[in-house]
Amino acid sequence: MTMPDYSMHEALRRQAATAAQAHRVDRRGWTDAQWADDAERLMGELDGAVTSLVNGHVLALTAERKRLVAEVESLRAQRDAALALHHRTEVEGHFGACATQDCDHQDECPLVMIGVCNACFNHVAPLYEDDDRPWSGDVIWPCPTAAALGVQPEPADD
C-alpha cells in the first residue's frame, strides 16, 4: 500500500502560486505613465486576439484619460487666473438703505466695511467717488464673474 504523493501535489500548487504571484502587480498610486507602460508590457507578454483587443481598448482609454486630465488642468489654471483677478477685498462705504438715502440716519450714516470684488470694484471705482451714489450689486462679492466660476455667496450676517 503506497501513500498518496502529497509532495508532488504541493510542488505543483506552489509552482502555480509562484506563477500567479509574478503577474500580481501592486498598481495602487500609479501614474498615467505607469498604467500606459503596464498596458504595453501586457500586450507584449500575452497573446491572443481578445487580449490584444482588450489591451488596445485599455490604451485608448488611457490616452483619453490623459487628454481629459490635461484639459481639466488647463481649465483649472484658467479659472484660478480669473479668480486671482476677481478676488474678495473690503472697502469702506455706505451700503443698502444708506447708499440710496432711504435710511433714518439723518446725514449721520455709519461707514461700514463691504466685501467687494477687487477687479470689478476698481473698474467702476470712479463712479463711487460721489458717496451718495447707490452701489451696484455687481461689485458686491462674489461678483457675477466669480459666481459664474463657482464662488458661493457669503452668508448674510446682521
**Can you give the binding site for Zn ion, defined by CB under 5 A?**
86, 98, 103, 105, 109, 117, 119-120, 143, 145
Contact 38, 25 (CB under 8 A): yes
Nearer to Zn ion, 39 or 117 (CB): 117
Nearer to Zn ion, 46 or 112 (CB): 112
d(CA 15, CA 76) in angstroms, rounded, equals 50
Cβ at position 136, least distance to Zn ion in Å: 11
Nearer to Zn ion, 72 or 125 (CB): 125
The contacts of residue 32 (CB under 8 Å, 6+ apart) are 62, 65, 66, 69
Cβ at position 154, least distance to Zn ion in Å: 14
d(CA 74, CA 132) in angstroms, rounded, equals 43
Cβ at position 82, least distance to Zn ion in Å: 9
Q: Hey, what's the cell of 104?
A: 433714518
